[in-house]
Amino acid sequence: MFARGATTEIDAAYSNPAGLAWGHEGFQFSLNFQKPWQNRDIETTVPGFLGTGFQQKYNGKASAPIVPALFASYKKDRVALSAMIGIVGSGGFVKYEEGIPMFEVPLKAMLAQAGMMPNSYRFDSEMKGKQYIYGGQVNLTYKVNDNFSAAIGMRANYYDGYNRGHVVADIPNYTSSTAPAANIDLINLQLDCIQRGWGFAPIVSFDYHDGPLTIAARYEFRTKIKTENDTKTLSARIKNTDPTTASVMPYIEGDLALAQFGDKVAAYKDGAETRYDMPSLFVAAVGYEFSEKLRGTLEYHFFDDKHAKMAGDRQKELTHGTHEILAGVEYDINKKFTVSCGGQRTDYGLADGYQQNTSFACDSYSVGCGGAWNINDKMRLNVSYFCSLYSDFNKNQQQYQGLPYAGTDVYSRTNHVIGVGLDYKF
């Protein structure tokens, strides 16, 4: 059930802290795990590249071993204290075994300018990254009167990520009249960059409860997160093809070689700072109990992405912040079993200038279903599944990656998630 903004159950510690005023009296805990599988693919087409054209699909395999979340609350009379620990942003690993086009296409063009066409050398590239934002949140809820409650909270957010990869173009087993067979490097770029940073966000929420009707709202302030690179490796080695200097300097290395890659590697230099703000979030939700067995919720989210700083000020390229519409229903089959289903529409306000090989988004519809088993009066088991249906995004460039060729990147994604959780109250 996607729409949890009006819940009064234990997950309200994250989704609707003010709603805990109407929840369980005493202690309750919930331990949850999600397992996602994703593909983040890029299909690149540059028709006029080197006269023969270029087309390749880069398959990005994304996953997270486990996405955990822990909720806890204690309520006594009008006051409730609650907390949550979990992954609240990004979340996962992605690996491109064939590399990414932002490196391959320009470097092959560079080699062609030196007289080396793609069929004359071996090209090996790989890129992988990780992004997690861990959150720890505490809330204080107060029941103002029989119909209205409010909560204040604070969440600490910790960004943990890396970018690692290599690009190697070489001539294997090269032989000459004066030297034995050996691999000759043409280009060798190595990257290992770790990024970490902290940020804090105040949270306020309100809940109106009148019989079967619940109206809830929540606002999370922007989290300013600034990371500083801890770059373990950033090295480049390029074969010098200038005949006037090659005899004394066969390879270009160090900063001089890195300069050949321009802004593609500048963001990974040791000590460089990058912003990964979490945008402010407004949530409004309406829940209604149609009967003792049937409940439904309609919900709206607005993420103010255009005012959350990102690497290279990419947020300025968006046409608007993110809008989400969510809906969900729950039905109690009997006292032991509950089933649910829901959906979500996400519109990011995407534009060509926002999309990058290393970070891109696609608008989507998500649908899911779930079930709960009340094992006894104190314990409940929850299970769920959902998938996201993404719209491909076509990014057209008249000068692809700065080259004198028009080209297109088609960004596409898939997503499947299963979840399991255990609730306990006493």
Write b or e for each residue in 392-402: b if 16 or more Cβ atoms lie within 10 A of its Cβ, otherwise e.
Answer: ebebeeeebbe
Would residue 1 count as lying in a domain? no
Measured CA angle at 399 (ends 162, 58), to 5 deg: 40
pLDDT of residue 176: 65
Structural domain for 110, as ranges: 12-425
Domain for residue 2, yes or no? no
- pLDDT per position as a tens digit, 176-217: 666 677 788 899 999 999 999 999 999 999 999 999 999 999
Give the Cα separation of 329 and 287 in Å (integer): 9
Q: Is residue 302 part of a domain?
A: yes
> Is residue 5 in some structural domain?
no
pLDDT at res. 66: 85
What pLDDT score was predicted for residue 246? 85
DSSP 165-226: EEEEEEEEEE--SSS--EEEEEEEEEEEEEEEEEEEEEEEEEEEEETTEEEEEEEE--B--E
Which pLDDT value is given to residue 247?
83
Per-residue model confidence (pLDDT) at position 168: 95
Length of the chain: 426
pLDDT computed for residue 204 by the predictor: 98
Query: What is the C-alpha separation between 351 and 188, in angstroms, rounded?
Result: 33
Give the DSSP H/E element, type plus range, for residue 253: strand 251-253
Q: How far is it, in rounded angstroms, from Cα 192 to Cα 254?
A: 16
Question: Which amino acid is residue 257, in one-letter code?
Answer: A
| CA-based nearest residue to 71, from 31, 110, 111 | 31
Inside any domain, residue 362 = yes
Name residues of the chain where pLDDT drops below 70: 91, 176-179
Tell me whether residue 312 is in a domain. yes
Measured at the CA of 201, the angle between CA 200 and CA 205, to 5 degrees, comes to 155
CATH number of the domain at 129, please.
2.40.160.60
**3 occurs within a structural domain:** no
pTM: 0.92
3-class DSSP state of 414: strand
The mean of the pLDDT values for the chain is 94
- Predicted pLDDT of residue 197: 95
Structure tokens of 295?
């409940």
Give the DSSP H or E segment for 101. Answer: helix 101-113
352-371 residue pLDDT tens: 999 999 999 999 999 999 99
pLDDT of residue 177: 61
The total number of structural domains in the chain stands at 1
Q: How far apart are CA 127 and CA 95, in angstroms?
A: 6
Measured distance CA(316)–CA(354) in Å, rounded: 8
Q: Report yes or no on 171 lying in a domain.
A: yes
